[in-house]
Amino acid sequence: MSSTTFTTDNNNINNSNNNKENVTITNRKGNISTLSNTQQLTAIDTFGNVFEVPNYSIKDILKAIPSHCYERRVLQSFSYVFRDLAFLGIFYYLANTFIPTLPSIYLRFLAWSIYTIVQGLFGTGIWVLAHECGHQAFSDYGWVNDLTGWVLHSSLLVPYFSWKYSHGKHHKATGHLTRDTVFVPPTKEEYKAKNFVSKLEELSEDSPIVTLYQLITQQLGGWLAYLTTNVTGQKYPNRSKWSVNHFVPNSPIFETRDYWFIVLSDLGILIQSIILYKVYSKFGGFHFLMNYFIPYLFVNHWLVFITYLQHTSPEMPHYDHEEWNFARGAAATIDREFGFIGPFCFHDIIETHVLHHYVSRIPFYNAREASEAIKKVMGKHYKHSDENMFVSLWKSARSCQFVDGENGVRMFRNKNNIGIKPRD
């Protein structure tokens, strides 16, 4: 292993040395940061483009972010909670007051459909704000964050502390094939074993109808499957899949110290379940269906839709243990655009996700400015797409089925003859 020291005008590092080495960078202010072991590793993405592994450090990223971006303002954070709750309440009142008076069953069907979609959007906004609490980005006060997050997430049947802990591990190991906790793609070998064949070539191409069925299943049931069986997470061969879930205090997902917080999460779900039963008993099944259950399904859909596309793309890398580091893993995410809905309803969780993986305690209302700052460090390694997200969903489902590679950097491949074929 060799060591190289050089001076740079900024944080964008370009070293053409292909050998493994430790590189110490001294900028003109005398600040020193050490890059990870491997310099200028490359891989070929799904469509044949050369992917260069990032070689800047997390210190370079953190230095670029203005200090005021870290400010968490509790009143401003709560203003978004109250705003979203107000929208939910206003639309609830309008829908239940006026939709039943519409003269046509077709008009009522259309109005209820629009209403449940809108409620799902603002319900997802509440979900995102609870997610801010889990990252301690909501306020400077831990008890405020956890109490608010527990109430908001429990209202959506989300086990707050359980998901907070597993999601925290995801942030600590994003893009790591053996440590990440969600949307972990199978390797080529794992994919072959799962499909019970000895050679990849023996796999028949998925028809579009199969892909559509898989997407519908993923979007409607993926979140509940993740909570109950840890689907897309790490495998625990010696444990039943039903014991590896977010509701069991001694699940291998958690640490021993988490036990009673998992119980508290379950208590929140129990309380909300009792409330929903009381609502159902008093107002009936149709009221429950329109005002909670269908919007709840939309919330689950948006959650899976958003997170899947943040971590799945034909140009997205995953790393074996020896080539992973935090800076590389955080860069293995992508920002997308979702029109008016992204900033207004979803609180920029789509548009500033790369920054969120570098510093998750920056509140969303400061994330745009911080994102602009880190782009100067990331350079070409910053990933962004303004493609229609539903188009991206289809492309990713068709082209990103497993990962393959031989130098510790793995890129997506597929059996659908899309892009580069996997190695023999």
- H/E stretch holding 409 reads strand 409-413
The structure tokens listed for 42 are 């490359």
Where exactly are the structural domains of the chain? 54-413
Q: How would DSSP label each residue in 322-343?
A: GG--HHHHHHS--EE--TTHHH
Would you state the pLDDT for residue 424? 74
Most confident of 40-49, 138-147, 200-209: 138-147
Percent of the chain with pLDDT over 70: 88
Query: Could you count the other beta carbons within 10 Å of the beta carbon of residue 78?
Result: 15
- Cβ atoms of 308 and 218 closer than 8 Å: yes
Q: Which amino acid is at 56?
A: Y
| Higher pLDDT among residues 365 and 422, named by residue | 365
Local confidence band at 207 (pLDDT 50, 70, 90 cut-offs): confident
**10: pLDDT strictly greater than 70:** no
Instruction: Note the pLDDT tens digit of each residue in 155-196.
Output: 999 999 999 999 999 999 999 999 999 999 999 988 888 765
SS3 call for 52: strand
Per the prediction, the chain carries an average pLDDT of: 89
Q: What are phi and psi of 20, to 5 degrees?
A: -75, 130
CA angle (307 as vertex; 306, 308 as ends), nearest 5: 95
How far apart CA 14 and CA 85 sit, in angstroms, is 48
In the block, residue with structure tokens 């020896």: 322
pLDDT for 328 beyond 90:
yes
Backbone angles phi, psi at 357, to 5 degrees: -80, -25
Please report the pLDDT score of residue 406 as a whole number: 87
Q: What's the Rg (C-alpha) of the chain?
A: 23
pLDDT at 12 over 80: no
Give tens-digit pLDDT for 68-94: 999 999 999 999 999 999 999 999 999
Total count of residues recorded for the chain: 424
CB 70 within 8 A of CB 76: no
Q: What is the pLDDT of residue 206?
A: 75
399-423 pLDDT per residue, tens:
999 999 989 999 999 999 999 988 8
Q: How many CB atoms lie within 10 A of CB 231?
A: 18
Three-state DSSP at 4 gives strand
pLDDT surpassing 60 at residue 200: no
> In this predicted structure, what is the pLDDT of residue 233?
94
The arithmetic mean of pLDDT across residues 117-135, rounded, is 98
pLDDT, residue 93, reads 98
Lowest mean pLDDT among 134-138, 241-245, 249-253, 270-274: 241-245
Model confidence at 38, pLDDT cuts 50, 70, 90, reads: very low
pLDDT tens digits, 255-268:
999 999 999 999 99
Written as one string, the DSSP assignment of 366-406 is HHHHHHHHHHHHHGGG--EE-S-HHHHHHHHHHH-SEEE-S
| Residues contacting residue 8 through CB under 8 Å, at least 6 positions apart | 25, 27
Residue 2 has pLDDT above 80, yes or no: no
Contact between 346 and 352 (Cβ < 8 Å): no
Q: Residue 46's closest CA among 416, 424, 413?
A: 413
Q: For residues 141 and 245, is the Cβ–Cβ distance under 8 A?
A: no
Predicted confidence at residue 21, as pLDDT, reads 38
Mean of pLDDT values over 43-53: 96
Note whether 336 and 350 are within 8 A (CB). Answer: yes
CA 261/CA 263 separation, integer angstroms: 5
Q: For residue 421, is it left (φ>0), alpha (ψ between -120 and 50) or beta?
A: beta
| Between 39 and 192, the higher pLDDT residue | 192
Taking a C-beta distance cutoff of 8 angstroms, is the pair 9, 25 a contact?
no
* Structure confidence at residue 242 as a pLDDT band (50, 70, 90): confident
Q: Which candidate, 224, 93, 226, places its Cα nearest to that of 166? A: 226
> Does 339 have pLDDT greater than 90?
yes
The predicted pLDDT at position 39 comes to 60
